[in-house]
Amino acid sequence: MNNTENKIESQHPLQGEVNIRYAVQSDCPRLMELVHELALYEKAPEEVTVTLQHFEETGFGPNPVWKAFVAEVDGVVVGFALYYVRYSTWKGSRMYLEDLIVTEEMRGKKIGKLLFDRLLREAKERGFSGMVWQVLDWNEPAINFYNKYGANIEAGWLNASLSKEQLLNY
């Protein structure tokens, strides 16, 4: 991808210029810092087990599985939105928002809105049948944010997973 054609510049009254662009491989160390910040916020820092190498390979290797937009202020990445394609047999190809992160000191300055709006535009441009994500039931700021978009926040589904260790023991 050509960085220049994917660059979006927005003037925001609270912090000056915010640059929203596609993530590049050299952003990965900073993105991992933000992942760790999110894990602390979500009270689960021990749950982050992905290595930087794996993160880079899965985003920028021969078969990338994720894409991300980053938000920069004064050349520093202060947030990102990472997504991948999810397929629903009921709905078709959908954007799955894995993480939307803005550093604590930059929250409340509409940077999350700029990232989310860019995701919505990407979903439309790529012809996805919708966008899905999860939000913790106690994360009221995030729930309030998504409600501003008229999001359907559903109850009743339980998360299920198997760890790498469980897979290896099968």
Tell me: the pLDDT tens digits for 7-59?
A: 444 444 444 689 999 999 999 999 999 999 999 999 999 999 999 999 999 99
Active site includes 146?
yes
Among the options 87, 96, 146, 170, which is catalytic? 146
Res. 161 pLDDT band, cuts 50 70 90: confident
Looking at domain 8-169, its CATH class is alpha beta
**Proportion of the chain above pLDDT 70, given as a percent:** 91
Q: Is residue 123 classed as helix, strand or coil in its secondary structure? A: helix
Is the pLDDT score of 95 beyond 90? yes
Contact indicator for 73, 16 with CB cutoff of 8 Å: yes
pLDDT number for residue 53: 98
Cα 106 to Cα 119: distance, rounded to the nearest angstrom:
19
- pTM value is 0.86
Contact indicator for 82, 58 with CB cutoff of 8 Å: no
pLDDT number for residue 155: 84
Across the range 148-156, mean pLDDT stands at 89
pLDDT number for residue 123: 97
Cα 8 to Cα 88: distance, rounded to the nearest angstrom:
30
Sequence-ordered list of residues with C-beta below 8 angstroms from that of 114, at least 6 positions apart, any chain: 10, 12, 18, 20, 71
